[in-house]
Structure 1
Amino acid sequence: MHDNILDIIWNISLICPWDCEFCCTDAVHVKSMNGEIIAKEHSLRSVHSVDKQLIEIFQSKYPDINPTKYDLALLDRQLLGKEPTYEEKVSILQHLKGYEVKIDFAGGDPLACYENFLIIKKASEIFGKESISITSTGVFIKRYGIEEVASIIGEYEFTYDQAPLGTQGFRPAGYNFSNLKLASEFATLGIRTKAQLPLHSQNFSKDNAQAIYSELCKHNIDEVLIMRLFPVGRGQGNLMNSYISKDKLILGIQNYKALSREEGTKVRLQCALRHLLDVSDSNPCDLMQGSYGINFSGKLLISAWANNSMGRPLSEDFVLGDLKKEYFKHISETEKFKRYTERLDENFGHCKVFAYLASKNKNEDAIFSNLDPIYV
């Protein structure tokens, strides 16, 4: 671990208005249909009707707030024991104290539910706004007001992997455009902005890179993070036509890096790609080197990407502890935590999630195997 620093991605809830085919967390898609509130989970195959009578329980907690279908869907999941209560989420924040903490709130959509907005606000109060970022689709910004959201975050992150005028493929209509539009408004307010761009078959080419990068510069986006497309979450069964070869990954990286200029959007590589072009003495994989994930149920994971097609951890091998009940400090003193820390360089440069997925034997050793496909 890097001294006292924790860089955490907290997928605070699975509730989401979008149904992206390759969602890396298997978010719960909530929508209205024939007068009912419908929630789809488990790769969108499990359909559940949310009881609208839950409005009475919600308003007993937040009498001045008119609940949305997303608020009621979250409350429904909490009553079923599927997601932590407000009090348990506050406990998670308390259990991170004593460290220099940076939290990126993601999901689902972290702003879909009023209660999670309150948690983000409390995190900002505890750790300072410069330590807080959100990765959001922007749909819910209007509910709170962009100035209010800007007052509690230091950075706004968003997915942007296809230019607005291009074919949107496996993204819902309007997804990329609405993300970019809101990010541009945050940039105007002086908030740092970062686009997350997973490389795939529809954005690695020179023409696609030029179109996407031009839009990012035009909207004054500070940085774009070039990423790998992870076959996790809902993506485990929906990515076969989207993967690109190692050679095309390298070409895609080169296409974007060639566009980067001092006065424009900066291009940076995700840790899972850095070893392709930059071989150094320092392990580019930041897993457990300050970087961790917290999933929607409050479990501390070695990686925020370690999700299966049901939205749960890929296996217990990726779970370090339960932050609803335990302090991070206590978890870091466990035998498992210490053992993992000692093994981090066994597969130097490899992404440990990809290494695990490529292994026939799904166990602890698979995480530290030299089987990441693009480095084998």
Structure 2
Amino acid sequence: MYAIWNLTKVCPWDCSFCCMSAIKVGQVNGGESLNFSEKIKVLEILATHKMKIDFSGGDPLYNPEDFAIVERAVEIMPRDFIDISMTGVDFNEKKLALLKKVGKVEISIDNVPKDSNRFRPKGFNLSAINILKTLVEENIFCSAVTTLYPLSADKNNLKRLYELLCINQVPKWNILRFYPVGRGLKLSNLYIDDEKTLELMDFLDSLGSGETEIVFQHSLKILRGEYQCHAAIKSIGILPNGTVTACGWALDKNSNPLPGFCLGKLPDDDFDVILEKAQVDMGYSERQSYCRILNYLKSQEAI
């Protein structure tokens, strides 16, 4: 089982559809957040349960306190149990040394750097490819991550982006489906329907003979009938205030869990009780053939 742990909402970027509704550095975070000792307790709980952790945010390495949490993680957990999803902004030797001790680093990139994209801040894609190059040069296992929405899902863009990743020997390219969640709830027009998404997946498959391996996110594999939703069974999300969610993406515009997805709170609640309640009382006893988030959004006519 793995946890997507959003350590913080603070991020140097300000993307229009951020699922975490991240706040820019320098803004005041009005939301509740765990203190350092509470985060350490959560880390120890996850380590004891042999959970794999994807540290995310916001940027989990931007604040010194969160950096220290990840430093502690590499001391008490196997490296293959630690992934980091980060921006690469303000990259330095200290961060480089830490990343050499983790299993995988994920960097989001949606377009080739010279192309504009109004849903990503200026410099976002250039920064991403530069940090990916550095990670490859330093033999740090990394993955580029692209979310499919109209300004990224243009076939010409996807082809050029794949060629760029191959040229730079980026090992993996993770393809994600756009969920209109978080700050993206108001951007449901960016959601690509099933038929078009399947067509894009076939197109991406036709590209996948180069240096970079193309990997589809679970929700895309569900669409093909190759996978089942693993919410609260194989994975959970943890928010900056310790709230445990059945899925790391099931968030409203304030980055609170969508109805039916809130499982409990760490470190206050017993983790075993949280998981048991999800299975026994909340309907997460079996994996489903559909994505639970998309099923909820469709029931609300949000897509």
Alignment check: 8 A CA contact 2:110 2:152 kept? yes
Alignment check: 8 A CA contact 1:198 1:226 kept? yes
1:28 aligns to 2:23 (yes or no):
yes
Q: How far off its partner does 1:342 sit?
A: 5.3
Cα distance change, pair 222–253 in 1 and its aligned pair in 2 (3 A): same
**Quick one: distance in 2 between partners of 1:84 and 1:127?**
21
Aligned to 2:279: 337
Alignment check: 8 A CA contact 2:19 2:184 kept? yes
C-alpha distance after superposition, 1:263-306 (max 9, x if no partner): 511111111111333x35xx422212321110111111100101
Alignment check: 8 A CA contact 2:38 2:267 kept? yes
1:174 aligns to 2:123 (yes or no):
yes
Aligned to 1:204: 153
Aligned to 1:121: 71
Q: What letter matches 1:148 in structure 2? A: A
Query: What is the DSSP-based 3-state SS (H/G/I as helix, E as strand, rest coil) of the residue aligned with 1:100?
Result: coil
Please show how residues 1-376 of structure 1 align to structure 2 within 5 Å: 6-31=1-26, 39=27, 48=28, 77=29, 82-142=32-92, 145-240=94-189, 242-261=190-209, 264-277=211-224, 279-280=225-226, 283-315=227-259, 317-334=260-277, 336-340=278-282, 343-345=285-287, 348-360=288-300
C-alpha distance after superposition, 1:217-253 (max 9, x if no partner): 122211111111111111111342x333323212211
Alignment check: 8 A CA contact 1:16 1:112 kept? yes
**Quick one: distance in 2 between partners of 1:223 and 1:17?**
24
**Quick one: distance in 1 between partners of 2:51 and 2:293?**
23
User: If the length of structure 1 is used for normalisation, what is the TM-score?
Assistant: 0.75
**Quick one: distance in 2 between partners of 1:122 and 1:330?**
25
Aligned length: 303
Q: Which has the larger radius of gyration?
A: 1
Farther off after superposition, 188-197 or 223-232: 188-197
Q: How far off its partner does 1:24 sit?
A: 0.8
C-alpha distance after superposition, 1:192-238 (max 9, x if no partner): 11121111112323311111101111222111111111111111113
Alignment check: 8 A CA contact 1:299 1:323 kept? yes
Unaligned runs of 5+ in 1: 1-5, 32-38, 40-47, 49-76, 361-370
Q: What letter matches 1:268 in structure 2? A: V
Q: How far off its partner does 1:350 sit?
A: 1.2
Q: What letter matches 1:264 in structure 2? A: E
Sequence identity percentage: 30
Alignment check: 8 A CA contact 1:159 1:196 kept? yes
Q: How far off its partner does 1:132 sit?
A: 0.9
Farther off after superposition, 8-17 or 285-294: 285-294
Q: How far off its partner does 1:140 sit?
A: 3.0
Q: What letter matches 2:53 in structure 1? A: I
Superposed CA RMSD: 2.1
Unaligned runs of 5+ in 2: none
